[in-house]
Amino acid sequence: MEPTNTVLIGIVAALAVLTPIGTALLLARRRPDRPPGRWPVRFVKPLALTVVCQLLAVSALFLVVNRSYGFYNTWDDLLGRTSTEPENVDTSSLDAGQGRVETLHIDGTASGVHGQALVWLPPQYDAAVNADRRYPVVMMLPGQPSSPQIVYNEYHFGSVASAEIKSGQVKPFVAVFPPIMINPPRDTECVNVPHGPQAESWLTEDVPHALEASYRVQPLGKHWSVFGWSTGGLCAAKLTLKYPTMFAAGVSFGGEMVPYEDHTTGDLWGGNVTNRKQNSPLVLYKSHLGTRGAHLLIITGLQDKESYPGCLPLIQVAQGDPNVSVITFAKGGHNDQDYAAYLPTALRWLEQTGGLG
């Protein structure tokens, strides 16, 4: 079981609660007529039990925080044994709601990446009456570092999407969750890095082609949209504004609108200023004087120092543009729990803009 596994987290959390209780009961049951024993034994035994209790409490806290933020998705990540290929997708602990989840294997000819994506299918997909029906697609991008299964779980995607479809607020759709960390542990920001990982080609060519070949979905275009959380939100905004004929709508959950370089990214642009500008949502919007027909929804928290400052320039320049919608919330930082509450709103917005047909 990997460190993000729900069963593992539940077991460790239960032990963290029950072990101190058991320790207290054990110490309380010591018979008063029994000799106390030598002092080293009397000292070491309670100390050892206390250390075990503390280790379990720290471990449980680490696993919960790690799952929320996706710092380490596998034990190899934690131990520094990272692969240069994206990790496999584990669907065993995912709540599909009323639909189902599958793993899609992708041999990327454009990017050269061999990886897996998570696919969510609505309950209507398997109905005989819909055998010839092709569904619109929502591509959901995780943060960095993170994984498809983490963003799926934290946004409760299967249950939320099922509920919205069942209520009639949203038409049935297929969702695909590809990894964006295609060259672990490097943060590519979904860029085609000169002489490096071709993350943009992975998302705009390899993933769509593999999904279209394996499932009954609409072709890449007016019935495809791209959602993203954090770094994935930056990618979603960029792909929508850069390729409006591929993605008719995009939703950024807590993404920045300005690309960055740091020790996690390395050199993304190869010294090419034009390449950097072509990967900035703010620059793309300003240079094209708008969205060129695509729809963009920016969701950001006013207290989110990792998102709001970067979003503000685009929010200001796009003020009054009917194709750009903005949702801000007053309290809450850069965590997916605060943003996940807006997934139903985002799906209904997508329905209203026509992205679901």
CA dist 57 → 11, 18, 53, 70 (Å): 12, 10, 6, 19
Mean pLDDT computed over 167-183: 96
Mean pLDDT computed over 84-93: 75
**Helix or strand (DSSP H, E) at 350:** helix 343-353
Considering 12-26, 30-44, 247-261, the range whose residues carry the highest mean pLDDT is 247-261
Closest CA to 90 of 155, 212, 7, 185: 7
One-character DSSP codes across 188-253: -TT-B-TTS-BHHHIIIIIHHHHHHHHS-BPPTEEEEEEEEETHHHHHHHHHHHH-TTTEEEEEEE
pTM over 0.85: no
Domain ranges of the chain: 6-69, 100-353
pLDDT number for residue 347:
98
How many angstroms separate the CA atoms of 179 and 270, rounded? 23
pLDDT number for residue 3:
62
Residue that wins the pLDDT comparison between 311 and 257: 311
Helix, strand, coil content of the chain in percent (nearest 5): 40, 15, 40
pLDDT number for residue 83:
47
Residue 29's pLDDT band, with cuts at 50, 70 and 90, is low
pLDDT number for residue 146:
86
Q: Is the pLDDT of residue 79 over 50?
A: no
How many angstroms separate the CA atoms of 302 and 190, rounded? 25
Q: Is the pLDDT of residue 289 over 60?
A: yes
* Total residues found in the chain within this entry: 357
pLDDT number for residue 16:
66
How many angstroms separate the CA atoms of 310 and 256, rounded? 5
Residue that wins the pLDDT comparison between 54 and 336: 336
Residue 91's pLDDT band, with cuts at 50, 70 and 90, is confident
Residue that wins the pLDDT comparison between 79 and 199: 199
How many angstroms separate the CA atoms of 4 and 312, rounded? 33
Closest CA to 350 of 138, 99, 119: 138
- What CATH number was assigned to the domain covering residues 100-353? 3.40.50.1820
- Summarised one tens digit per residue, pLDDT across range 110-126 is 999 999 999 999 999 99
Q: Is the pLDDT of residue 11 over 90?
A: no
- Structural contact between residues 254 and 299, judged by C-beta atoms closer than 8 angstroms: yes
- Summarised one tens digit per residue, pLDDT across range 314-347 is 999 999 999 999 999 999 999 988 999 999 999 9
- When mean pLDDT is compared across 63-72, 275-284, 295-304, the lowest value belongs to 63-72
Sign of the alpha-carbon torsion through 224, 225, 229, 235: positive
